[in-house]
A = this chain, B = another copy of it.
Amino acid sequence: MNEIATDEQRQSSRPHQGRRAVISREDLMVAAMQLVGPNRSISTLSLREVAREAGIAPNSFYRHFRDVDELAVSLIEQAGGALRQVIGQARHRATSGRSVVRSSIEAFMEQLWGEQKYMQLLLREGTVGSEAFKAAVERQLVYFEEELCADLVRLASANETGIYKPALAARAITRLVFTMGASSMDLPEEKRPQAVEDMSTMVRMIVVGTQTIAEGHIQVD
């Protein structure tokens, strides 16, 4: 009769032995995200704090993560995956020539302002915290670099322009966009279009630079 069986979090549908989990890893991750903010970084969250926010006893935390750091790594992977997906879609939508880079940046900035807290993890906290955490962020950055590098190469051959050290160019663009994004995070609404514009110009400089160097019109000291 109790067909209620609320489809709670049947995280794995296989029948359970023992008490059913009332909370999931995801719940803890959500709780942690609610605590981070412009002046609160993951690395400063305490286990008890997260548990409190999630509404569980401190010790229950251990059922899901070894410590807050492990939670942070999971969050990084989640945030990175989401961003890559969004940008991937943007790339798909606009395969027409050079607008790829542009629309990628726009997608990036949209995600940046739509999912502030998630993006903060990737953009602002990659340089502090544990070794594991920094490594996780670095991993995400490298993913972006690789995808962007492929884009640049494809773009160059499509437009029949040269390209000098595409991997380095991709790296420069990624890092630049990420830092600029980080510092643009707390811009007021009205200044955002300008920020997008500036970032596009900067990226264009790099793209034009790598092309021009490849053309050999300028000496490479």
Contacts and interface: CB of A to CB of B under 8 A. Distances in A.
B169 A179 contact: no
A102 B180 CA distance: 23
B176 A172 contact: yes
Interface in A77-128: 98, 102, 123-125, 127-128
Contacts of A208: 208-209, 212-213, 218
Given A127-B182, A175-B179, A176-B176, A205 B206 contact: yes
A44 interface: yes
Interface in A119-171: 123-125, 127-131, 138, 164-165, 168-169, 171
A169 B205 contact: yes
A164 B128 CA distance: 35
Contacts of A31: none
A124 B182 CA distance: 12
A24 interface: no
